[in-house]
Amino acid sequence: MSVSQPARDLARPIDVETSWFVAPPTGSQSDDIAHGILNEAQVRARARELGAAITRDYQHISPASPLVAIVTLRGAIAFAADLLREIDLPVETDFISASSYGAAATSSGVVHILKDLETDLEGRHALLIEDIIDSGLTLSRLIDTLDARRPASLRVCALLDKNKPCPIREQPGRLAYTGFSIPDEFVVGYGLDYAQRYRNLPYIGVLKPSVHARGEEQR
């Protein structure tokens, strides 16, 4: 069976042109944040919209073979927790871990599969949940890997997108659900890290360049 085409208005991300708040809340981790760009309420509201769209698009999927939600570890954990609770359908959830950054602030160019799925994707409708598309390298490699397992369909729901050119943008319907379009800055919080820190910030903010410059020196 097929699934519905994503609605155009929901496929288009919301632009984040300016800082949502200039001064982030104070606290030990927030001292490293230059400015916040999205708060928890905004992310949750967008997850509600995307969850409703996914519910509508997959409403005819067979209950005997539910949608497989693939959460990418570790960055997508917070967004996926919000999104999954907004999908009103039977869903199977699995996890995959692919990393290209290590402790660096820029992609290494090599993607490693650190933890693989336990689900057999053959013939299944699958939705890959990502936190951010930066260079698109991680996603591109993940899609290649998962497509080879012959799912019935494989779409992507990403919370953040920096809109850089990458081949997956040329694949019709692939980036079906996107939360926010953001500037090309190093963002952390709400699951996103720098050197494994800041994932637990309850908002998304721009890391002060001095912090990742300091980290690079220590490597």
What residues are labeled active site? 134
For residues 36 and 75, which CB has a smaller minimum distance to ligand PRP in the complex? 75
Q: Report the C-alpha gap between 177 and 159 in whole angstroms.
A: 8
Applying CB under 6 A, does 42 fall inside the site for ligand PRP? no
CB of 189 to ligand PRP, least distance (A): 12
If one asks whether residue 13 binds ligand PRP (CB under 6 A), the answer comes out as no
Residue placing its CB nearer to ligand PRP in the complex, 136 or 205: 136
Report, in Å, the least distance between residue 8 CB and ligand PRP.
24
- CB-wise, 10 or 132, nearer to ligand PRP? 132
User: Which residue's Cβ has the minimum distance to ligand PRP?
Assistant: 75
Q: Does 161 bind ligand PRP (CB under 6 A)?
A: no
Q: In the chain, where do the E strands start and end?
A: 14-15, 33-38, 67-73, 91-99, 112-115, 125-133, 153-161, 177-181, 187-188, 204-207
Cα–Cα dist 152/127, whole Å? 11
Contacts of 153 (CB under 8 A, 6+ apart): 2, 3, 125, 126
Helix axis angle, 40-57 to 77-84, nearest 10°? 50
Rg of the Cα trace of the chain? Answer: 17
**Residue number with CB closer to ligand PRP (74 or 155):** 74
Return d(Cα 181, Cα 172) in angstroms, integer: 19
The CB-of-64 to ligand PRP minimum distance in angstroms stands at 31
Using the rule CB under 6 A, give the single segment among 26-34, 97-105, 120-128, 148-156 that binds ligand PRP: 97-105
What part of residues 101-160 is at the interface with ligand PRP (CB under 6 A)? Answer: 101, 107, 130-139
User: Which DSSP state fits 192?
Assistant: B
Q: In the beta sheet, which residues pair with residue 126?
A: 68, 154
Taking CB under 6 A as the criterion, which residues in 57-96 touch ligand PRP? 72-75
- Across the strands, what pairs with 152? none
What is the Cα–Cα distance from 127 to 34, expressed in whole angstroms?
Answer: 33
Minimum CB distance to ligand PRP, residue 197 (Å): 11
Q: How far is the CB of 119 from ligand PRP (least distance, A)?
A: 19
**Number of residues lying near ligand PRP (CB under 6 A):** 19
Q: Which residues bind ligand PRP (CB under 6 A)?
A: 72-75, 99-101, 107, 130-139, 193
